[in-house]
A = this chain, B = another copy of it.
């Protein structure tokens, strides 16, 4: 059955990081309703196998579709790299005509268009850098672009744990910026949904001539285009609603999540998920 325009957009991530993506969707597409699922019980996804990420993503997609989602956003770099195609195939095989949008390809697209010099930087977790997914995505768009990838093992944990920011953040960010400066990139992909919380510090270190591309920037344009092409943009005036689900403790999600969303979190429901990777 084809979805209807008044239905919500489903967004999911391994935890609170994807709330930076939801943040940009809330600001840019305010008339839409949103359902967000943070799979906090199985966080972090960076340590999971590809098969696990596919199984989790299909399970969560089913959950969001059952709750009425008209489009799915995988607001997580690891799950986007591993599972967009798998979820698409799963939905096609079960005759559900719903778009599945990951954060990876849209960010690569925006970065390739934004760069004048063809020298793009990537800051991401070791798992995302190691997957080679951004290199593949960028090369498929323009094989003349050079991608300078920097694995940042410490940055997401510091951002998740550390507020107010102390000098550790500054020194950590500074170290990761050194290779980007040496490579003279003019555009940098924030390849983890945690990194927008460091965007001002990054911009100060890299210089304002460098364009920062977050997951949310790319996704927002792609989501809007996908909905428009199917006549699924919500025609309501004013702001829609947003509500949350998570798989671990609700109050921890609220405490941490407000900082990532930069808006109040209202209703948060606990849900149990149990998928395992197929043997």
Contact = CB atoms under 8 A, between A and B. Distances in A.
Interface of A: 23, 26-28, 30, 163-167, 169-170, 200-201, 203-205, 207-208, 239, 254-255, 258-259, 262-264, 266
Prevailing SS type, chain A contact patch: helix
29 contacts: A23-B200, A26-B200, A27-B200, A27-B203, A27-B204, A27-B208, A28-B208, A30-B204, A30-B205, A30-B207, A30-B208, A163-B258, A164-B254, A164-B255, A164-B259, A164-B264, A165-B262, A166-B264, A167-B264, A167-B266, A169-B264, A170-B263, A170-B264, A200-B262, A201-B262, A201-B263, A204-B239, A204-B263, A205-B239
A264 B200 CA distance: 11
Which one of A164, A170, A239, A254 has the greatest number of beta carbons of chain B within 10 Å? Answer: A164
A107 B170 CA distance: 30
For the complex of A and B, the 7 pairs showing the least CB-CB separation, nearest first, are A164-B258, A30-B204, A165-B264, A27-B203, A166-B264, A27-B204, A200-B262
A45 to B, nearest CB: 25
Given A204-B239, A204-B263, 11 more contacts: A26-B200, A27-B200, A27-B203, A27-B208, A30-B205, A164-B255, A165-B258, A165-B262, A167-B264, A170-B264, A200-B263
Contacts of A205: 30, 239
A23 B255 CA distance: 25
Contacts of A266: 167
Contacts of A239: 204-205
Contacts of A201: 262-263
Contacts of A26: 200, 204
Nearest to A220: B208
Contacts of A208: 27-28, 30
A151 B79 CA distance: 46
A176 to B, nearest CB: 15
Contacts of A30: 204-205, 207-208
A108 to B, nearest CB: 23
